[in-house]
């Protein structure tokens, strides 16, 4: 509704004199409108220009006045609601305040523009900013893998304690080489996605989310979760090594594993980053340090979700349909690609320069 139309909305031409209470309400509404109509009209004209893409045509004075006029209109709307002014005034102010709020506080860019900026530098920058936590998470994951291997190598009963029952089909100590090789076979078509592969993705996605969520407890549960999950991998690595199938298993796992395990590492690092900042906030308060770390960690977790989705596609098709050599090449390529993207690709900074 345009400001010039207010006159027609609130015109006082009548056929018969209204009752005294209605006349008093109309007079109060007219006085309220006339006292503020100039500011509303100025705000509406500014919004018309902005919505038409003519922001640069606004003067510096108008740009500075925009949030002030928005707050004035919002205050007018609150008063109009409290005093039960006429419906036309309320409808006009509600529409005006909604439009002004979007321009003052609304998003500055669309989803496509945000995604381009996010993938074009924000995500890799956030990952680099938690490099110390990534190193700690990587160390714990490697140690967890080694521990799982050594425990099962010393006592095979540890395998059944570490590895979930979903894996305990033919993948158990004492299984023949042929039986284990059968679990790594190339499927005839994409419908051959095994239940083990589906469980593996579900398990890793859950681990990634938990690793981040548990970071608030100073990162201790996150590190324990990473170590426990990687001990499973260590036990299975020993199993296939004992059968002389370690290269084939690494290739089978690497197709999606380099992406999925990297995602788990980043999720754990993001959770650990929050816990570390809470434990050692420096000169800031604990809440301020945690809030800043949480925003950075949230960016990383968006990337983790995208990586897990990508890993699911790799798990469903290339791993099931490709041979050992192709699996190894794909897995190695994905690892190099993620390392280059996160740690070599700089993108563009917030000022728009390289």
Enumerate the domain spans of the chain: 3-105, 113-343
What's the average model confidence in pLDDT over 65-87? 82
Question: Cβ neighbours of residue 30 under 8 Å, at least 6 residues apart?
Answer: 10, 12
279-282, long-range: CB within 8 Å, 24+ apart, which pairs? Answer: 279/218, 279/219
pLDDT digits (tens, 9 = 90+) for 190-199: 444 455 556 6
- Looking up tokens 């690595």, which residue turns up? 237
d(CA 17, CA 122) in angstroms, rounded, equals 66
Looking at every residue in the chain, the average pLDDT score rounds to 81
- Confidence band of 264 (pLDDT split at 50, 70, 90): very high
- How far apart CA 51 and CA 3 sit, in angstroms, is 16
Rounded CA-CA distance 95/114 in Å is 27
Angle, CA 18 vertex, CA 15 and CA 19 arms, to 5°: 160
User: Would you state the pLDDT for residue 190?
Assistant: 46
Model pLDDT, residue 351 = 41
């Amino acid at each position: 509704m345009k400001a010039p139309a207010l006159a027609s909305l609130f015109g006082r031409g009548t056929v018969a004199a209204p009752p005294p209470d209605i006349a008093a309400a109309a007079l109060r509404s007219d006085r309220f409108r006339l006292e503020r109509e100039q500011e509303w009209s100025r705000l509406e004209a500014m919004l018309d220009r902005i919505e038409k893409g003519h922001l640069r045509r606004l003067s510096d004075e108008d740009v500075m006045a925009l949030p002030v006029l928005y707050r004035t209109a919002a205050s007018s709307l609150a008063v109009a609601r409290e005093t039960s002014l006429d419906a036309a005034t309320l409808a006009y102010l509600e529409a005006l305040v909604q439009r002004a709020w979007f321009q003052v506080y609304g998003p500055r860019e669309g989803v496509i523009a945000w995604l381009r900026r996010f993938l074009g530098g924000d995500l890799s920058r956030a990952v680099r900013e938690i490099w110390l936590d990534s190193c700690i998470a990587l160390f714990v994951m490697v140690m967890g893998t080694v521990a799982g291997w050594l425990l099962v190598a010393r006592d095979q009963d540890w395998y059944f304690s570490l590895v979930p029952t979903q894996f305990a089909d033919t993948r158990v100590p004492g299984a023949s080489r042929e039986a284990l090789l059968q679990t790594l076979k190339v499927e005839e078509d994409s419908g051959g996605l095994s239940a083990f592969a589906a469980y593996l993705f579900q398990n890793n996605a859950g681990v990634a989310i938990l690793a981040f969520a548990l970071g608030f407890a100073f990162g201790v549960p996150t590190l324990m979760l990473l170590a426990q999950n990687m001990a499973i991998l260590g036990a299975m690595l020993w199993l296939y090594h004992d059968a002389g199938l370690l290269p084939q298993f690494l290739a089978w796992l690497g197709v999606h594993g380099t992406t999925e395990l990297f995602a788990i590492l980043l999720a754990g690092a993001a959770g650990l980053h929050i816990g570390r900042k809470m434990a050692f906030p420096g000169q800031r308060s604990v809440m301020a340090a945690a809030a800043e770390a949480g925003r950075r960690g949230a960016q990383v977790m968006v990337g983790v979700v995208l990586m897990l989705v990508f890993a699911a596609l790799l798990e469903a098709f290339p791993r099931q349909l490709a041979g050992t050599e192709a699996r190894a090449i794909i897995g190695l390529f994905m690892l190099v690609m993620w390392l280059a993207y996160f740690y070599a690709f700089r993108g563009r900074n917030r000022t728009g320069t390289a």
